[in-house]
A and B are shown apart, each in its own frame.
Chain A
Amino acid sequence: MRKVCVAGVGMTKFGVSEKSCIELFAEAALEAVNASNIKVTDIQSVHFGNVFGDFEEGQAVMGSFAAREIGCPPSTPALRYEGACATASVAIRDAFIAVASGLYDVVLAGGTERCMAMGTPLATRTFAMCTEGKYESYTGITFPGVFAMMTHLYAKKYNIPLAKLKERMAMVAVKNHYHGTMNPLAQFQKEITAASVLKGFMVCDPLQLLDCCPFTDGAAAIVIASEEKAKKMVEKPVYILGAGQGSGAPLFRQKDITVHEARIAASKKAYEMAGVGPKDIDVAEVHDCFTIAEIALMENLGFYDFGTASEAVERGESKIGGKLPLNPSGGLKAKGHPIGATGAAQAYEIVKQLRGECGARQVEGAKIGMTDTLGGDATTVVDIIYGI
């Protein structure tokens, strides 16, 4: 395997958009191409992430249409990836493998989503499709419901009073919204208070509205190249040091859902490939789809011992300026969660952080960064480690 880097990155404003999935992707993709100082015809393969375009716009085979939309020639293959909310990270990992193997020198990876186009009833139906369909969906379980069950199990297992745990979960939301105020591309750029989180309407007990990330439209893309090419393209190539992906069983077979088998396997692979450990990570963009999710992943990625992460949140260790800043972009919670694009937006942030280009939300001196993206009920998990 040869060394692989990220050259340019691109991302649309996250929020509500009237642009199509392909239009959103094209804007992010060409920003990444321009930032790489290459022509779009230099792209040898397009790794395109999208989850629900079929339902959002009645449009399939978007990968190839997107490749031609941005000006790739007929000889450029395009691949569509789907790994629920981890989709774009699956695309990035595969693009990394394609370059590492020597098959291609310059490829484009990213994703796009227009969740808002579906309307709430269809959106809830399609999101529920990411839960196991034969033995779980028919109970009427939802994603907030799964993470709500995780919350109750977490409180019980570690003997933390639910009210105390919920206060600490609210701090995760407050922290990510605070980070989001410094990100001009974030869906929400307004601070919230713990009191407002704890006053929100109950979605699935004990998760309230502001424990949950929003529905979002948006796209993000990155150009991935061999070290040799990337050095000629940009001043500060960011290395992909390691990447891992895991597959989780249905919830009932995972049993204790505070422990994420696919995430542990994916991050172990990424750490091994990169030759680093959890203690070496300076900044991470992580999958805070729900407030409890950020607490659980802090443990499953090895940043904290099991049962102790909510105390670290209380101590402020995951804020910018803390021991290990998580989601300086605002995370899924404030930046937004266009599911097919999220992993690429995480990569966008980490690349900019490692280059020192993040302005007010810059994590000072960050040299090694990580993205963690979870799809479904921890069914597809991708962890990628970047370095400068």
Chain B
Amino acid sequence: MSSSVTYKLTHKMFYEGLKEGKLLGLKCNSCNTYTCPPKINCAQCNSLDMDIVELNGKAEIKTFTVVRVCPEGFEGELPYVVALAELEEGPWVCGRVVGVDPDKVTMDIIGKKATVGGKIPPKLSYAPGEPMAITLKIS
């Protein structure tokens, strides 16, 4: 019997999902919790016994910032809003907030419902592969 370990859901597969409008995650068969974005084993119990599932993409904004000084590469997008949001299935994600005016965002955005999607971000130096960013569209 082989003892080798292989990723069920790599970052590349997760990015492909976002490109097709799907939020992919992993459901653990040991503890029934969800791991998203993916990781080699369950974020809750370290089990490798997980299945790839499509999450419903519904989230709630937990906190945010308006970025006005950016890392090299994002100059063309300033100012922009980044948030942490809780998925209905439990995990949190970090995403770019879309569909809001950055100069009008206040703490009232906390608690707002959002839909998870993806966008192709600027290509960054020293970062191989096709990039993909999680987005949070305020509904």
- Measured CB to CB, the residues of A under 8 A from B are 121-122, 124-125, 127-129, 133-142, 144-146, 148-150, 152-153, 155-156, 162, 201-207, 249-253, 255, 257
Instruction: Decide yes or no: A255 and B70 within 8 Å by CB, A139-B134, A140-B77 being known contacts.
Output: no
Q: Does A142 lie within 8 Å of B133, measured CB to CB?
A: no
Chain B residues contacting A250 (CB-CB under 8 Å) are 94
Q: Does A140 lie within 8 Å of B107, measured CB to CB?
A: no
Q: Does A253 lie within 8 Å of B71, measured CB to CB?
A: no
Q: Does B69 lie within 8 Å of A253, measured CB to CB?
A: no
Instruction: Decide yes or no: A205 and B70 within 8 Å by CB, A252-B91, A253-B92 being known contacts.
Output: no
Chain B residues contacting A257 (CB-CB under 8 Å) are 63, 84
| B68 interface contact, C-beta 8 A | yes
Which residues of B85-139 are within 8 A (CB) of A?
A: 86, 91-96, 105, 107, 110, 121, 124-127, 131-134
Show 6 residue pairs from A and B whose CB-CB distance is below 8 angstroms, ordered by the A residue. Answer: A122-B72, A124-B72, A138-B121, A144-B69, A145-B65, A201-B68
Considering the chains assembled together, what is the distance between the CA atoms of A136 and B77 in angstroms? 16
Considering the chains assembled together, what is the distance between the CA atoms of A125 and B125 in angstroms? 8
| B62 interface contact, C-beta 8 A | yes
Which residues of B60-86 are within 8 A (CB) of A?
A: 62-74, 77, 80, 82-84, 86
A186 to chain B: closest CB distance in Å?
Answer: 24
- Residue of A127, A140, A249 near B80 (CB, 8 A) is A140
Q: Does B121 lie within 8 Å of A253, measured CB to CB?
A: no
- Residue of A133, A140, A201 near B70 (CB, 8 A) is A140
Q: Does B82 lie within 8 Å of A141, measured CB to CB?
A: yes
Considering the chains assembled together, what is the distance between the CA atoms of A257 and B64 in angstroms? 12
Q: Does B132 lie within 8 Å of A138, measured CB to CB?
A: yes
Q: Does A128 lie within 8 Å of B132, measured CB to CB?
A: no
Q: Does B93 lie within 8 Å of A153, measured CB to CB?
A: no
Considering the chains assembled together, what is the distance between the CA atoms of A133 and B129 in angstroms? 12
Chain A residues contacting B133 (CB-CB under 8 Å) are 138-140
Instruction: Decide yes or no: A149 and B126 within 8 Å by CB, A124-B72, A127-B71 being known contacts.
Output: no
B110 to chain A: closest CB distance in Å?
Answer: 5
Q: Does A135 lie within 8 Å of B94, measured CB to CB?
A: yes
B38 to chain A: closest CB distance in Å?
Answer: 9
Q: Does A125 lie within 8 Å of B71, measured CB to CB?
A: yes
- Other A-B contacts than A149-B64, A152-B65, 19 sampled, CB-CB below 8 A, are A121-B72, A125-B72, A129-B126, A138-B132, A139-B95, A139-B121, A139-B133, A140-B77, A141-B82, A144-B69, A145-B65, A145-B82, A146-B65, A149-B63, A152-B110, A156-B107, A204-B66, A250-B94, A252-B37
Considering the chains assembled together, what is the distance between the CA atoms of A135 and B95 in angstroms? 8
For residue A147, which residue of chain B has the nearest CB?
Answer: B65
Considering the chains assembled together, what is the distance between the CA atoms of A268 and B139 in angstroms? 42
Q: Does B93 lie within 8 Å of A204, measured CB to CB?
A: no
Q: Does A251 lie within 8 Å of B84, measured CB to CB?
A: yes
Q: Does B91 lie within 8 Å of A140, measured CB to CB?
A: no
For residue A253, which residue of chain B has the nearest CB?
Answer: B43
Chain B residues contacting A135 (CB-CB under 8 Å) are 11, 14, 37, 93-94, 134
B38-67 vs A, Cβ < 8 Å mask (1 yes, 0 no):
000001000000000000000000111111
Considering the chains assembled together, what is the distance between the CA atoms of A206 and B109 in angstroms? 14
Chain B residues contacting A137 (CB-CB under 8 Å) are 71, 124, 127
Considering the chains assembled together, what is the distance between the CA atoms of A140 and B71 in angstroms? 7
Chain A residues contacting B69 (CB-CB under 8 Å) are 124, 142, 144, 203-204
A170 to chain B: closest CB distance in Å?
Answer: 18
Chain B residues contacting A139 (CB-CB under 8 Å) are 82, 94-96, 121, 133-134
A131 to chain B: closest CB distance in Å?
Answer: 9
Considering the chains assembled together, what is the distance between the CA atoms of A153 and B84 in angstroms? 10
Q: Does A140 lie within 8 Å of B84, measured CB to CB?
A: no
- Residue of B65, B84, B131 near A252 (CB, 8 A) is B84
Considering the chains assembled together, what is the distance between the CA atoms of A28 and B62 in angstroms? 44
B48 to chain A: closest CB distance in Å?
Answer: 18
Instruction: Decide yes or no: A141 and B67 within 8 Å by CB, A122-B72, A125-B125, A252-B94 being known contacts.
Output: yes
Chain A residues contacting B132 (CB-CB under 8 Å) are 138
Q: Does A153 lie within 8 Å of B127, measured CB to CB?
A: no
Instruction: Decide yes or no: A152 and B63 within 8 Å by CB, A139-B96, A252-B93 being known contacts.
Output: yes
B1-43 vs A, Cβ < 8 Å mask (1 yes, 0 no):
0000000000100100000000000000000000001000001
Chain B residues contacting A149 (CB-CB under 8 Å) are 63-65, 82-84
Considering the chains assembled together, what is the distance between the CA atoms of A136 and B127 in angstroms? 13
B3 to chain A: closest CB distance in Å?
Answer: 25
B83 to chain A: closest CB distance in Å?
Answer: 7
For residue A136, which residue of chain B has the nearest CB?
Answer: B94
Considering the chains assembled together, what is the distance between the CA atoms of A272 and B82 in angstroms? 38
Chain A residues contacting B84 (CB-CB under 8 Å) are 149, 153, 251-252, 255, 257
Chain B residues contacting A204 (CB-CB under 8 Å) are 65-69
Considering the chains assembled together, what is the distance between the CA atoms of A201 and B94 in angstroms? 25
